[in-house]
């Protein structure tokens, strides 16, 4: 199944969601369209499964069970997110979603549901374990997590959406992660 979802991801990335047919994916996977439809009721269902599988790479349980401090766990989780989100495959997927959101509103709805709703749980669980600065303790943890993610990733992510020549400076990104942690958290 993982191989099929990887093929679907590559095909969507190459052709776009709207232009990709179930026949394209079945052909690339070396199976019949009938077999593919036995696995997925629709192209949207296949896309949701692909995103969900993609999200499973964000396994925060290792960070949660480590003997490190909560801030070190959060630092590790943010670096882990960067290692995945800033890959060429992920950037291609995000560009696809932006390019096709008007043609395929269901695509944007699936992405929002899988990534922003379900996917946020991992980072929220890491933020819950740190001691936030006093002025943030009454702010919902999800809001703090969103603010932290924005502070760390938004500039690089936006640049990558519009500039093919842009590259993420990992040293600067790690400094931004440390600065965000110092801004939002108290040392424990």
Q: For the chain, what is the mean pLDDT? A: 87
Work out the average pLDDT over 31-48: 93
**Is 3 among the domain residues?**
yes
What pLDDT does residue 120 have? 74
Are 103 and 154 part of one and the same domain?
Answer: yes
What pLDDT does residue 4 have? 95
Whichever domain contains 13, its CATH number is 1.10.10.60
pLDDT at 90 over 90: no
Domain range for residue 87? 57-184
Are 133 and 175 part of one and the same domain?
Answer: yes
**Is 151 among the domain residues?**
yes
Are 64 and 148 part of one and the same domain?
Answer: yes
CA 128 – CA 112 distance, rounded (Å) = 22
Instruction: Give the ranges where 56-140 is alpha helix by DSSP (H).
Output: 61-64, 70-85, 88-100, 105-111, 120-128
Tell me the whole-structure pTM to 2 decimals: 0.77
CA 161 – CA 77 distance, rounded (Å) = 23
What pLDDT does residue 46 have? 94
Are 32 and 65 part of one and the same domain?
Answer: no
Work out the average pLDDT over 51-61: 69
Number of domains forming the structure of the chain:
2
pLDDT at 64 over 60: no
Whichever domain contains 122, its CATH number is 1.10.357.10
Are 39 and 119 part of one and the same domain?
Answer: no
**pLDDT tens digits, 9-39:** 889 888 888 889 999 999 999 999 999 999 9
């Amino acid at each position: 199944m993982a191989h099929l979802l990887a093929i679907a991801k590559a095909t969507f990335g190459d052709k776009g969601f709207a232009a990709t047919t179930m026949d394209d994916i079945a052909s690339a996977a070396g199976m019949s369209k009938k077999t593919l439809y036995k696995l997925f009721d629709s192209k949207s269902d296949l896309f949701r499964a692909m995103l969900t599988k993609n999200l499973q790479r964000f396994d925060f349980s290792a960070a949660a069970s480590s003997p490190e401090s909560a801030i070190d766990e959060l630092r590790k989780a943010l670096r882990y997110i960067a290692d995945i989100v800033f890959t060429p495959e992920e950037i291609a997927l995000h560009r696809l979603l932006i390019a096709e959101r008007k043609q395929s509103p269901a695509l944007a709805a699936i992405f929002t549901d899988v990534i922003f709703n379900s996917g946020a749980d991992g980072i929220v669980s890491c933020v819950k374990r740190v001691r936030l600065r006093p002025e943030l303790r009454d702010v919902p943890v999800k809001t703090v997590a969103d603010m932290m993610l924005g502070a760390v990733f938004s500039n690089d992510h936006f640049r990558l959406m519009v500039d093919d020549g842009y590259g993420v400076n990992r040293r600067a990104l790690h400094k931004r992660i440390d600065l965000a942690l110092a801004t939002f958290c108290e040392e424990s």
